[in-house]
Amino acid sequence: MHKKVDWLLVISVVALSLLGLIMIYSASYIWSEYKFNSPYKFVRNQSIFFVIGLLLMYFISKINYSFYHKYAKKILLLCIILLMLVLIPGIGTIRNGSRSWFGIGSFGIQPSEFTKLALIIYTAYYLTNHKKFLPIMFVTVFIFGIIMLQPDFGTGTIIVMTILGILFVNGMDISLIIKLAVVGLAGVVFLILIAPYRLNRILSFLNPWQDPLGSGFQIIQSLYAIGPSGLFGLGFGNSIQKHFYLPEPQTDFIFSIISEEFGFMGVLIVTLLFSLLIYCGIRIALNTQDKFGKNLAFGITFSISFQTLLNLMVVVGLIPVTGVTLPFLSYGGSSLLITMISVGILLNISRYTR
């Protein structure tokens, strides 16, 4: 059944992206002026990716989603190759302590972002014809291991949570999920032990004031931004924490600046827009007859949901800092592109719902 465009989904995505551009400018213009002698450096780059992302979302919404079923293996294999290539010095570049980028001038492409979508496509393809879950878990753990070599714990966590979500809606036993969670927890403990900086993040999460100028600095400044914002905040452009207190506020902690400048009302608007987007995604998944399309829609929606939840939990101090961006709002070209590509696929699936 061919339906019209799901305008609720389009409106929520465009509204979040435009709000993101506005807040990236507000959060970054001081740092951008200081570092690049231009207050528009970050918002200009993000605007370019936004326009490209809109075009990609439109064209991909016209491609029948069965295309991804046909090429699922090849798409995943290509992304795994890129994940491995980025680890090679001279090919991959290091940013914020992680070798997870291909540098192209002042721009950067993060292959792990594209791998998230590739694995969702492959999982949906696999579950169309198979009922055993362990092979998918082995593939997921393998990809998680490659990503941890960069290292990028945040993206790896989102991938694992997304795949578990897809397997759950396909009938995976809760007891098996608990067993996998225990194994995963043991693996996390091991990763913490071999990398002292992760232990510092855990300790700073438990008590950030123990090292207020070191590992606890970022979360303390985030709480200083959110705490006194009140109902309407300090007003657009009036954030105090972006004045070299909160490091690079246009990225992972942009929600802190939104809260500081627009208060509870800003938080409410962002929450409503994300809720609308997630509602649209779940509705599309539930109303899709085809099993591949259903799993693909669930996977895309889960990925955006878990990434949003993880970022917000970090910003308010509920979990340690993971380096995960807030979809559509945070500065980051790769994240914005792949999320809008994912929405394009979701829009195409919506055309074939009941």
State the pLDDT at residue 200.
Answer: 67
pLDDT in tens, 291-303: 999 999 999 999 9
Query: Residue 227 pLDDT > 90, yes or no?
Result: no
Q: CA 201, CA 97: separation in Å to the nearest integer? A: 14
What is the rounded average pLDDT of the residues 188-203? 66
State the pLDDT at residue 344.
Answer: 96
What is the rounded average pLDDT of the residues 136-159? 88
pLDDT in tens, 83-137: 888 888 777 777 766 777 776 666 677 888 899 999 999 999 999 988 888 889 8
CB–CB of 314/320 below 8 Å? yes
State the pLDDT at residue 349.
Answer: 94
Average model confidence (pLDDT) across the chain: 87
Q: Mind giving me the DSSP string for 23-75?
A: HHHHHHHHHHHHHHS-TTHHHHHHHHHHHHHHHHHHHHTTS-THHHHHTHHHH
Counting residues of the chain whose pLDDT is more than 90, the rounded percentage is: 49
State the pLDDT at residue 297.
Answer: 96
Helices (H), 217-290: 217-226, 254-286
State the pLDDT at residue 192.
Answer: 65
State the pLDDT at residue 218.
Answer: 82
Sheet arrangement for strand 107-109: 93-95, 98-104, 107-109
The set of residues, in sequence order, having a beta carbon less than 8 Å from that of 28 and lying 6+ positions away, is 39, 41, 42, 43, 242, 248, 249, 250, 331
State the pLDDT at residue 203.
Answer: 64
State the pLDDT at residue 89.
Answer: 78
